[in-house]
Chains A and B, each alone.
Chain A
Amino acid sequence: MTINTSRRGFLKSAAAAGAVLVVGVRPDGALAASGSPSMLTPFVQIGSDGSVTAIVKHFEMGQGPSTGLTTLIAEEMGLTMDQIGYDFAPSNPQVYNNTLFGPMQGTGGSTAMANSFMQYRQAGAAAREMLLQAAAQAWGADASALTLQDGVISGAGHSAPLGEFVEAAAQLDAPADPPLKDPSEFRLIGNPDVRRLDSAAKGNGTAMFAMDIERPNQMIAMIARPEQQRATAVSVDASGAEGIKGFIDAQILPNAAGVAVFAETTWGAMQARDAISVEWDTSAAETRSSDEIEAEIRAALDAEPTYNVNGADVAAVRAAVDGADTVVEETFYFPLLAHAPMEPLNCTIEETADGGILLHDGCQFPTIPHGAIAEIFGIPFEKVQIKTVLAGGSFGRRATPQADYQVEAALAFSLTDRSRPVHLVWSREDDLRSGYYRPAFGHKVRVGLNADGSIVGWEHRVAGQSIMKGTPFEAFAIQNGVDHSSVEGTVDSPYQIPTAAFGLTDTEKATSTLWWRAVGHTHTAYVMEVMMDMAAKAAGIDPVDFRLAYLTGDGPDQTRKAGVLKLAAEKANWGNAPEVRSQGIAVHKSFNSYVAEVVEISGTPEDGIKIEKVTCAVDCGIAVNPDIIKAQMEGGIGYGIGHNMRDQITLTAGVVDQYNFPDYEPLRISDIGEIEVHIMPSAEAPTGVGEPGTPPAAPALANAIAAASDLRVASLPMDENGVSFV
């Protein structure tokens, strides 16, 4: 298996292979083949040499779509996984749009498999049918008597490799509705032995990440930035950098947001950036501190919310809570969080022979930088190309509505004569201090319980900085003023809570807010699941039984959520932890998947907590690649737990206090014990796995801590709020 990540390579290999069959869809969504490739979204390309290449329209940040989408094609074409390769699709939103995002090509919201599952299977099935048809014609046989298996077409007394029929198949029309395999015939979908296609290259140093791109004669650019967001550069004195080996030039960016420092090498650029001096205009700069952000959010929680999200009769809900036998209440606070993907942000930009622009990028939302670059250089959209390469993680960071780092690269490049490609490189400090964060949020919840311990009223207020307002996503994300991403996971929870009111107040944006793995669910799941736990405790009812009482409906939302809750509890031996250990549980639906997690700890908050084990149950519909799903749960759990243990971004007078990993300590191997993942068997359509593992992890840990100690951690991170870890 070869990983062919070069678009030129892809086109070349197509040419070298002689005849080629390309199958995909037309703009109207109908299946189509070779004939007019420009009108076609290719999903699979087959050469007469028998090579089969899946064209993957989602970028790879580790979540596995290159393996996943390739699996779908291989399944329908009866191939083994080593008979197929893949290539990343070029940037073309008309052709490779995310069917769940509208006319936009991008990866996010855990949608890669959900929006590709049928498309890629249909393309694979159409290719199979066309090859069988071509073979049937050649052999004078009936196509229904032939089969394609392991790259060989056989039947009616004949047998030949599929490559022999590519030329003839390419003359045929694609079938409108090719038969898809029945799930009982799946050999690859759902097979836990299917391996990742990128493991070998990522283990021997040959995988090419954006950081590894080296274009002929390229320069490195780093950006000198102001301490405070929205300060602007007035003048630069680069004399300090003269004499630094490889230093070329330092110039203020056209938007004055920083100073581009050009050098022959990365090390030269780093040293030169430190050596120049820049005068900044701070008159419009951010000056708030995170304490002020927190105070604003806490004040908003004490006031009547701006939006009544579920149109509740708030007075009636309040009366129900006030009149209850027991009232359980808590106020929560969630700080700013950075994404900190392992590969610092970077991309390479160059001019093409025809005066266009080519960007090499681990590109999450190609459509946004594509348009931004066309505008900066005043060239037509078609003259911009984006070559997507491997991304060393993202967690949402590579998809900003402003295309922040790609725009920076383009602006830096625009300062040059464009004769040399420019590779923009960020340091870890640039990354942690860039201003793009999971916004700070607060929740205040009051739950009324009657004498038998059931909920009679739930009043819930949310306050924080909207992510979607002021972005191109506003149109579909905001309804009646409510940014759904601020409240997702509360008002739409599958829990059947009677007499509930959900209110939202937007607070002022102090930083550039950005989705962060699981978006609003990063705080809403914590609040919902800690409140359920507190209510269960107050009611004297087991936390699993207490939750199940609100999942009694027979709708899929309730049965699937209850299903994973029971499965996780059973597998974790819920309630029977060894003497010295405590368990906590949480369950949450996000991105149409249902995940329950049990965290088992030892120790106490004073002497130090150790996370011994996490047991996870996930229902994400049909499990296409079970081992990748498990890996995503493991990673999602680590991401949720690590940040909530000890990370936060804070500001002092508008200046970010954190610089590098020592101030934003990543989860370490010693922080977390064994993780066991169980996948719920399902025949439902596949749903997301990249994000849904994250939301329940921290509340399950918080609930375990409460079980061990009576300490309720309602403000995060935990280690700043009374919990030590060993």
Chain B
Amino acid sequence: MAISLKLNGKDQTVEAEPGTPLLWVIRDELKMTGTKFGCGVASCGACTVHLNGEPVRSCQTYIEDVEGAEITTIEAMSENEIGAAVQQAWIELDVVQCGYCQSGQIMSAVGLLSENPKPSAQEIDDYMWGNACRCATYQRIRAGIQRASEILEA
């Protein structure tokens, strides 16, 4: 079936079978590789994208459910004020290790800061719980979100 959606601000039509996860439309069909596959069962967050501005797990979001929606991926985060601040904070603090989870971490962090510009450590933990990092960069993720919050405040 043909599905129309807005991806990173551009109108796009994709051809995909119903039941195809958005993750695989993004990676297999649209050849955008910033969004990662980690588990396929919504339990790691590596595939996080924004659906109408809210973080979702693209591995468990089906293409037929996003007809007409606005999808934003890591590739467009530098054009988003909060996204750019998070990316800057990530560089300042060298949050990444292997880096494979970090697209998803940043997408979730942007989601958090969009609804809560000054989250406490506890609020960060509650919101970011579903984004696993096997390299255990958690303490820098926490610090990175707080630093991004400062950058945005300035």
Contact = CB atoms under 8 A, between A and B. Distances in A.
A343 interface: yes
B135 A669 contact: no
A661 B57 CA distance: 15
A709 to B, nearest CB: 24
Interface stretch (A90-98, A208-216, A713-721): A208-216
B94 A661 contact: no
A255 interface: no
B82 interface: no
A205 B34 contact: yes
A305 interface: no
B20 A199 contact: no
B98 interface: yes
Interface stretch (A374-382, A464-472, A540-548, A629-637): A629-637
Interface string B104-140: 0010000000000000000011101101111111111
Nearest to A666: B132
B44 A209 contact: no
Nearest to A220: B28
B138 A393 contact: no
Interface string B61-98: 00000000000011101100000000100110011111
B101 to A, nearest CB: 5
A61 B98 CA distance: 5
B36 interface: yes
Contacts of B126: 670
A342 B41 contact: no
B137 to A, nearest CB: 7
Nearest to B126: A670
A204 interface: yes
A669 B125 contact: yes
Contacts of B140: 631, 634
Interface string B29-69: 10111111111110110100000000000000000000000
Given A208-B33, A427-B40, A265 B24 contact: yes
Name the residue among B29, B87, B94 with the largest chain A CB count within 10 angstroms.
Answer: B94
B90 A199 contact: yes
A669 B98 contact: no
A205 B137 contact: no
Contact of A342 (B21, B87, B133, B139): B133
A206 B77 CA distance: 12
A230 B26 CA distance: 36
B149 interface: no
A392 B99 contact: yes
Interface string A356-399: 00000000000000000000000000000000001111110000
B24 A267 contact: yes
A457 interface: no
Contacts of B77: 204-205
Contacts of A662: 41, 43
B132 to A, nearest CB: 4
B138 to A, nearest CB: 4
Contact of B137 (A395, A427, A635): A635
A198 B139 contact: no
A202 B96 contact: yes
B29 A199 contact: no
B31 to A, nearest CB: 6
Contacts of B40: 270, 427-428, 660
A467 to B, nearest CB: 21
Given A203-B106, A205-B35, A666 B94 contact: no
A344 B28 contact: no
Contact of A393 (B32, B90, B131, B134): B134
A195 B28 CA distance: 33
A672 interface: yes
B23 to A, nearest CB: 8
Nearest to A194: B94
Q: Which of B41, B101, B137, B139 has the most CB of A within 10 A?
A: B139
B44 A203 contact: no
B34 A393 contact: no
B146 interface: no
Contact of A205 (B17, B75, B135, B139): B75
B27 A62 contact: no
B147 interface: no
A493 B44 CA distance: 38
A204 B80 CA distance: 12
Nearest to B143: A674
A203 B91 contact: yes
B94 A196 contact: yes
A505 interface: no
A267 B138 contact: no
A268 B27 CA distance: 12
A635 B140 CA distance: 10
Nearest to A341: B134
A265 B37 contact: no
B115 to A, nearest CB: 17
Given A211-B37, A635-B97, A669-B124, A202 B20 contact: no
B78 to A, nearest CB: 6
Contacts of A214: 31, 33
A277 to B, nearest CB: 21
A267 B20 contact: yes
B131 A669 contact: yes
Contacts of B94: 195-196, 199, 627-628, 631
A537 to B, nearest CB: 30
B139 to A, nearest CB: 5
Contacts of B36: 209, 211, 342-343, 392
A427 to B, nearest CB: 6
Contact of A343 (B100, B128, B136): B100
B32 to A, nearest CB: 8
B44 A342 contact: yes
Contacts of A631: 94, 97, 137, 140
Contacts of B129: 668-670
A46 interface: no
Interface in A555-597: none
Given A63-B97, A266-B27, A342-B133, 12 more contacts: A62-B98, A195-B91, A203-B91, A208-B33, A209-B36, A267-B24, A392-B99, A631-B97, A632-B97, A635-B135, A666-B132, A667-B132
23 contacts: A199-B91, A203-B106, A205-B103, A206-B34, A211-B33, A266-B28, A267-B21, A342-B38, A342-B132, A391-B98, A392-B36, A393-B100, A631-B97, A634-B139, A635-B97, A637-B136, A638-B135, A638-B138, A668-B132, A669-B124, A669-B125, A669-B129, A672-B136
